[in-house]
Amino acid sequence: MTIVIDGKAIAASVIEAVTVAATSLESAGHRKPGLAVVIVGDDPASHTYVGAKSRMAKQCGFNSIQHTLSAGASQDELMALVASLNIDPDIDGILVQLPLPKHLDSEPVIQSILPEKDVDGLHIVNAGKLATGDLKTGLISCTPAGAMILVREIYGSDLSGLNALVIGRSNLFGKPMAQLLLNANATVTIGHSRSRDLPALARQADILVAAVGRPQMVKSDWLKPGATVIDVGINRVDAPEKGEGKFKLVGDVSFDECASVAKAISPVPGGVGPMTIAMLMANTVIAAHRRAGVAAPSF
Ligand SMILES: NC(=O)C1=CN([C@@H]2O[C@H](COP(=O)(O)OP(=O)(O)OC[C@H]3O[C@@H](n4cnc5c(N)ncnc54)[C@H](OP(=O)(O)O)[C@@H]3O)[C@@H](O)[C@H]2O)C=CC1
Ligand SMILES: Nc1nc(=O)c2c([nH]1)NC[C@@H]1CN(c3ccc(C(=O)N[C@@H](CCC(=O)O)C(=O)O)cc3)C=[N+]21
């Protein structure tokens, strides 16, 4: 029987632990963890995610603040907002929703966030700590951290002897995911658009992680029988069967055909997505503990 990894349930248990940690911090006389989410422009999908993040932050007992800048906001305006959040004593975590509108450069914005408030784990200090094997004092990018918890459900925390393929090499996901797998002793390959024969690389993989942004790209004949498949892709595709103009979410993996070959597979929706939001809350409560000088929980 194939295991369908229930990201929603696992995320709920992370959220429960985060809520307990936030409550105990507050009852020890510290203020609530504070999360600021910054969004620029009016992309509907981004607003949906940001809304979900703000709601979840409130549910965890955080002080949750959303800053919405207009689509025409300037680089200086955005940098000034981040600078004010950096010195705001009520804010432990800052997340700038990506992608930004085309006229804005995300890199200087991300690098201007204080590393200890960078709950997305994208600052070079946090990326560098992960790359050098320090998983304890920095903040780790939410989606790979969440995907790793799903892998742990299947294999535990030691991946010695297992081959892993990560398809995608972004700073937001592919690179940090590869670092986490490597740190857990997997033998890691990173595939991307210039890789020669991805299906052949995939057939070697005990753990296959797909983060490309191409609907249902990974087919069942790519899989090593018994592999664990983590589908990170979030693709909106038309779903005329649901009515005119309707869409549905699919991953980067052809779920139905792969489910019959894999040992375990994470679905979309209900897999990695809910874990991303849960790990954002986890990073925020960790950052709040560190700022308060209290030993931080781990997840
Ligand atoms: N569930 C969640 O919480 C999250 C989901 N996502 C989803 O994950 C996916 C990837 O996100 P992200 O990493 O930000 O995306 P990017 O667009 O930054 O990166 C995509 C990667 O896929 C590679 N790629 C593109 N086309 C191919 C191809 N035909 N064959 C092999 N590799 C290819 C690119 O290669 P190259 O570098 O050569 O261009 C690149 O490395 C998206 O669907 C996104 O929506 C992202 C973040 C969070
Ligand atoms: N700075 C930054 N950090 C991010 O982490 C970040 C970002 N920008 N920009 C966009 C991507 C995408 N992302 C998702 C988060 C949750 C779901 C999620 O909860 N998905 C649900 C479905 C939600 C729905 O139905 O629309 C699921 O997969 O079950 C998906 C995608 C975070 N991202």
ipTM of the predicted structure? 0.97
Same domain, 189 and 260: yes
Can you tell me which atom of ligand 2 is nearest the CA of 7?
29
Tell me the CA–centroid distance for residue 170 and ligand 1, in Å: 7
Can you tell me which atom of ligand 1 is nearest the CA of 98?
14
Domain-embedded: residue 79: yes
Query: In this structure, which residue's CA is closest to atom 2 in ligand 1?
Result: 273
Tell me the CA–centroid distance for residue 276 and ligand 2, in Å: 7
Residue 258 has pLDDT above 90, yes or no: yes
**Angle at alpha carbon of residue 145, lines to 143 and 150, rounded to 5°:** 90
Same domain, 66 and 186: no
Structural domain count of the chain: 2
Domain-embedded: residue 203: yes
Domain-embedded: residue 16: no
Strand boundaries in 216-272, DSSP class E: 228-231, 235-238, 247-250, 264-265
Q: What is the pLDDT of residue 45?
A: 87
Residue 69 has pLDDT above 90, yes or no: yes
Instruction: Identify the nearest ligand to the CA of 95 by its number.
Output: 2
Same domain, 107 and 202: no
Same domain, 177 and 218: yes
Q: Once rounded to an integer, what is the mean pLDDT over residues 183-192? A: 98
Domain-embedded: residue 20: no
Same domain, 154 and 231: yes
List residues with catalytic annotation: 53, 97, 120
Q: What is the pLDDT of residue 221?
A: 98
Domain-embedded: residue 293: no
Q: pTM of whole model > 0.90?
A: yes
157 — pLDDT class (breaks 50, 70, 90): very high
- As given in the structure block, the two tokens for residue 82 are 């981040």
Domain-embedded: residue 14: no
Same domain, 207 and 262: yes
User: What share of the chain in percent tops pLDDT 70?
Assistant: 100
Residue 269: cis peptide before it, omega within 30 degrees of 0 = yes
- As given in the structure block, the two tokens for residue 296 are 């931080």
CATH of the domain at 65: 3.40.50.10860
Containing structural domain, residue 58: 29-114
Query: In this structure, which residue's CA is closest to atom 45 in ligand 1?
Result: 234
Same domain, 55 and 100: yes
Domain-embedded: residue 122: no
Tell me the CA–centroid distance for residue 29 and ligand 2, in Å: 33
Same domain, 155 and 218: yes
Query: In this structure, which residue's CA is closest to atom 24 in ligand 2?
Result: 269
Same domain, 267 and 152: yes
Same domain, 246 and 151: yes
Same domain, 189 and 269: yes
Check pocket membership of 234 for ligand 1, CB cut-off 6 A: yes
Output the ligand 2 site: residues, CB below 6 A: 48-49, 52, 95-98, 120, 142-143, 234, 249, 268-270, 273-274, 276-277
Same domain, 253 and 147: yes
Check pocket membership of 222 for ligand 1, CB cut-off 6 A: no
Q: Once rounded to an integer, what is the mean pLDDT over residues 156-160? A: 97
Single-letter amino acid code for the residue at 152: R
Check pocket membership of 15 for ligand 1, CB cut-off 6 A: no
Q: Which long-range contacts (CB under 8 A, 24 or more apart) does 185-192 make?
A: 185/158, 185/159, 185/160, 185/161, 186/159, 186/160, 186/162, 187/161, 187/162, 187/163, 188/164, 189/163, 189/164, 189/165, 190/165, 190/166, 191/165, 191/166, 191/167, 192/167, 192/168
CATH of the domain at 232: 3.40.50.720
> Final residue of a domain: which of 60, 95, 114?
114
Q: Are 112 and 124 in contact (CB under 8 A)?
A: no
Domain-embedded: residue 137: no
Query: Among 98, 192, 253, which is best to mutate for testing ligand 1, by the most ligand atoms less than 8 A from CB?
Result: 192
1 — pLDDT class (breaks 50, 70, 90): confident
Q: Once rounded to an integer, what is the mean pLDDT over residues 182-201? A: 98
